[in-house]
Amino acid sequence: MITKPNTQTAMRNLIADIRDAIPFDTPIEKLCNGPCTGCSKKLLDYLDMQLEEKEAEIDAGHIPSFGELNRLKKSALKIHGTLMKNGLIEPE
């Protein structure tokens, strides 16, 4: 029987997936090149800050709720969509 991960493990997996999918290491020259639908640099900074906060909370023993997992996922998906509109992520 396969068991589902606890929410701490699920949050760590979600954070890892977000870090893999979002280009946090994009040079500033590429971030601010041309018209934008939202500021890509600010969005990346915001998401990186959120991920670091969640990692620190888990390291401190916090057990995230399903709502926290869902909110982080929704936020990352919206930012991913904006980065795609700005040409920083290739459409899939």
CA dihedral 76, 82, 88, 90 (to 10 degrees): 80
| pLDDT tens-digit readout, 39-80 | 888 999 999 999 999 999 999 999 999 999 999 999 999 999
Residue 67 · residue 12 · CB < 8 Å = no
Q: pTM for the whole thing?
A: 0.88
Q: What is the pLDDT of residues 9-23, one digit of tens each?
A: 999 999 999 999 999
Residues 6+ apart with CB under 8 A from 15: 51, 54, 55, 72
